[in-house]
Structures are given as structure tokens and as C-alpha cells.
Amino acid sequence: MMIGEVAEKSGFSVHTLRYYEKIGLLPPSHRDSGGRRSFDDDVLRWLEFLGRLKDLGMPIRDRVLYARMRAEGDSTIEARRNLLQTYRDELAVRVASLTETLEVLDAKIASYDTTGSPSTEPRYDQDTIHP
């Protein structure tokens, strides 16, 4: 697989993939005779996982740290577990908070709807009440 195909399948841009390799998120890739990167399918699963780590808010330096430890092998399993555990716990908190935000938004949208419909009814800006 050349880099363009990986980009298309993973959703990361070609530029980003090269950048990821440069900073160590991807292992140094094999090259074909012409010096072009040649990836195998594994990289797609790894990129999908990296995408999840990114989406949950893990900063790139910790993704790099994780990637480096992964490349080092079994001796780093404990540290990797701990790193993931930390972000997992943080994520659980964030999911709870975002779920609450979802409720807040639904309430607010509902209040806008009530306020908005009948223009003969008294209007009030819910923003002044909640906030």
C-alpha cells in the first residue's frame, strides 16, 4: 500500500501521515525501490486506534509516548496500561459531562421552541433565565 491509499482509507491526509511518521507515531516505514513508503494493512488498525486516542483528547506527545513504548515491546506493557487507564478515567468523566451538556442543550432548545412559536404569546428570552 502506498501512502495515498493509506490516506484515503484512514482519513488522515498524506501530509499528516508523513508528519506522524516523522514524530514517531508511525514506525519508520519500509520503502520500495524508488524510496517510496510501503505500508501493510496493520497500519490502518493502528491509525484507527490513534484516531480514537486523538478524539478522546490525548495530546500528541502522549500518543507518541504510547507509540514508542509499543514499539519497544512487552517490557512497557505496564506503563502502557497505566497511560491508557489514566485517559480512560478522564474520558469517563468527560462523557458524563458531555451527556449532561446534551441535556442542557435539549432543555434550552425546547425552551426556544416554546418561546418561538406563537408570536401572540408573551415572549421571554430564556437566556436571561438560564443563562
The footprint of a second copy (CB under 8 A) covers: 42, 45-46, 48-49, 52, 55-56, 70, 73-74, 77-78, 80-81, 84-85, 87-88, 91-92, 94-95, 97-99, 101-102, 104-106, 108-109, 112-113, 115-116, 123, 125, 127-128, 130-131
Residue 54: C-alpha distances to residues 33, 64, 91 (Å):
33, 11, 12
38: which strand partners?
30
Cβ partners under 8 Å of residue 90, min gap 6 = 56, 57
What's the min distance (Å) between Cβ of 35 and a second copy?
A: 26
Q: Quick one: 15 or 123, whose CB is closer to DNA?
A: 15
What does the alpha-carbon distance between residue 131 and residue 127 come to, in Å, rounded to a whole number?
4
For binding to DNA (CB under 7 A), which residues are involved?
Answer: 2-5, 7, 13-16, 18-19, 31-37, 54, 59-61
